[in-house]
Amino acid sequence: MEYFNPVLLLILMAEVCLGICAWHSPRFLRRLAAHLLTRADVVDLSRQESERRMKVWLDEFGLESDPLNTKTQERVQRVSPDELKVSGSASIGL
């Protein structure tokens, strides 16, 4: 054991501390688990709310949430050096 990884040492120390706290007071472990689970729920709710807001604004402005969606992309063809044609519409002069 010439070299011991400092990250592994930190994890080992944290496990020992948690073990001592859980042995000393089982309520501590329950409180810690409840705190961490509540925090995870808040993060999930925040992410869902952010996605909902983004969808509302995309719908409000009439934008696509997936700009690379191949069903809605229009093909642009160069008819001549000065004209472009979008599939399903008339030519556009440059």
pLDDT tens digits for range 5-53: 889 999 999 999 988 888 888 888 888 888 888 888 888 889 999 999 9
- Interatomic CA distance for residues 64 and 58, integer angstroms: 7
List residues bridging with 91 in a β-sheet. Answer: 85
pLDDT recorded at residue 86: 62
Q: Which residue has the higher pLDDT, 31 or 67?
A: 31
Global confidence as pTM: 0.39
DSSP 1-70: -----HHHHHHHHHHHHHHHHHHH-HHHHHHHHHHHHHHHHHHHHHHHHHHHHHHHHHHHHT--S-TT-T
pLDDT recorded at residue 1: 56
What pLDDT, in 10s, does the model give residues 70-79? 444 455 565 6
Residues 6+ apart with CB under 8 A from 88: 74
